Structure 1
Amino acid sequence: MLYEIIGIARPGNLAEVKEIVLTAGQLILRNGGVIRDINNWGVFMLPTPVSRHQVRHTRGHYFALRYDAGVATHQTVRDTLAVDPRILRTAGVRLGDGKLETLSKFGKIPWKEFE
Structure 2
Amino acid sequence: MLYEMIAIIRPGKIHEVKEIMQTAGSTILRSGGVIRDIANWGVFMLPRATTYAQARYKKGHYVVMRYDAGVKAQETVSMALRLEPRVIRATSVKLGAGKLERMAKLSKVPWNTQVSMQMEKGLSDKQ
TM-score range, shorter chain: over 0.9
- The answer to whether residue 103 in structure 2 is matched with residue 103 in structure 1 is yes
**Partner of 2:64 in structure 1?**
64
Q: Which runs of 5+ in 2 are unaligned?
A: 116-127
Per-residue CA deviation, residues 12-43 of structure 1 (Å, 9 max, x unaligned), is 11110000000000000000000000010000
Kindly provide the amino acid, as one letter, of the partner of residue 106 in structure 1. Answer: L
**Partner of 2:28 in structure 1?**
28
What does 1:25-104 correspond to in 2, within 5 Å?
Answer: 25-104=25-104
Q: Structure 2 CA distance, aligned partners of 1:97 and 1:67? A: 12
Kindly provide the amino acid, as one letter, of the partner of residue 11 in structure 1. Answer: P
**Identity between Structure 1 and Structure 2 (%):** 55
More displaced, 72-81 or 105-114? 105-114
Give secondary structure in 2 for the equivalent of 1:114.
helix
Q: Structure 1 CA distance, aligned partners of 2:45 and 2:95? A: 26
More displaced, 92-101 or 80-89? 92-101
Q: How many residues align?
A: 115
Residue 5 of structure 1 and its aligned partner are, at CA, apart by: 0.3
**What TM-score do you get using the length of structure 1 for normalisation?**
0.96
Q: Structure 1 CA distance, aligned partners of 2:110 and 2:36? A: 14
Q: Structure 2 CA distance, aligned partners of 1:8 and 1:86? A: 9
Q: Which runs of 4+ in 1 moved over 4 A?
A: none
**What TM-score do you get using the length of structure 2 for normalisation?**
0.87
What does 1:8-23 correspond to in 2, within 5 Å?
Answer: 8-23=8-23
Give secondary structure in 2 for the equivalent of 1:107.
coil
Per-residue CA deviation, residues 33-79 of structure 1 (Å, 9 max, x unaligned), is 00000010000000011111110111000000100000110110000
Is residue 7–residue 63 contact of structure 1 (8 Å, CA) maintained in 2? yes
Kindly provide the amino acid, as one letter, of the partner of residue 78 in structure 1. Answer: S
The Cα RMSD (Å) is: 1.0
